Amino acid sequence: MNRQPLDGVTVLDFGQVYNGPYCGFLLAQGGARVIKVESRIGETLRARGATSTASYPFALLNTNKECITLNIQSAEGQALLKRLAKNIDVVFENFAPGTMDKYGIGSDALRALNPRLIYASSTGYGTEGPYRDFLGMDITLQAMTGVMSITGEEGGPPLKTAAAFADFIAGTHLYAGIVSALYAREQSGEGATVDISMQDCVFPTLATALGSYYVAGAQPTRAGNRHPGRALAPYNVYRTSDGHVAIICIREGHWRKLCQAMDQPELLQDERFATTALRCENMEALDALVTRWTGRHTKAEIFAIAQSHGVICAPVQNLGDVVSDPHLAARGSLEARGHPQLGEIAQLHTPLRFRDLAPPPLTDVPPLGRDTAQVLAELASVDDEELERLRAAEAV
């Protein structure tokens, strides 16, 4: 492979916040020409201000994109999008359900103008079904899908994960749907409408908890850092002299290796821990034994011992550790780059890798609307005079 796999594909990215923009990021890193389309005040993250907690995710997710403004609420803006749609491959969005249809620029309208067009949307619950019109964000999807019901400590309230995993897993599926449709178009010559539901995307992540639910016939209690079904032990986060480590034993061989790593081979003869089932029955005593061992060492020491014995283990890293992780740096996954407000930040290259093909270099996020004139001239034949009229009409 001597060029990026999506080279030659042109995309209009109407993504907002995390879900859609992450899909656009993956497409751009795959070599597609991604044109970010924003309102005249900018999409949600940009509009929060130059220096805020939104500054980093906005920079992370919108590199390698061109940027235009387009007012889809105006008749002229809608007409302009229809002109653009004739010369592009993909339109995607993660607006509230029905937003684009309300303005006459949804899938049916745009694909009628360009039968090869792929129109993709990611919403909370998809375009069909009784939840269709429900608004969805990461936290509400964690609630609706049951993720919060199994997250937290036993006896405590439901908790969300701090990581916005529902948004990002939906963005990944949106990308997969678009790429699948592009492949199908190569065979048929026809475009497609891609419908991604965040609820659908999150459901498979419940596999372990649902296994416990079906076996027990009831909702499992929240287990904190332990196995959701309390079906494996050791399986927890354990205190060290300077933090915590995560340790898990899935098979009998893992348990034997952990006993060797702890220099406690006698535990292999302890009837309380003779099988996985017995170790789970005696989970409190077992976790106490492991904690006594880990508590005498640092995270790094435990990790080194575990690695040398083939024990599944990892230190609990903080955010400072993560952004300076030597493995991510060595793989080229993270790159330290300057940011006008935040200083030096760690930015991500695509997780999708191909042998002998480096990801494209990262670029800075363009100022709002920087590429409007160029893109409209190239893809919609808008000359300078028309551009001034469109600006005066607040269409762009």
Q: For residue 208, report the phi and psi dihedrals to the nearest 5 degrees.
A: -65, -45
Residue 383 bears catalytic tag: no
Q: For residue 106, report the phi and psi dihedrals to the nearest 5 degrees.
A: -80, -165
146: left (phi over 0), alpha (psi -120 to 50) or beta: left
> What's the CA gap between 167 and 18, in Å, rounded?
6
Is-contact 197 123, C-beta < 8 A? yes
Question: What type of residue sits at position 61?
Answer: L
Pairing of strands 235-240, 243-248: antiparallel
Q: Which of 89, 167, 270, 383 is catalytic?
A: 167
Closest CA relative to residue 178, chosen from 188, 190, 161, 192: 192
Is-contact 312 247, C-beta < 8 A? yes
Is-contact 229 248, C-beta < 8 A? no
> What's the CA gap between 376 and 354, in Å, rounded?
33
Is-contact 312 250, C-beta < 8 A? yes
> What's the CA gap between 237 and 337, in Å, rounded?
33
Active site residues: 167
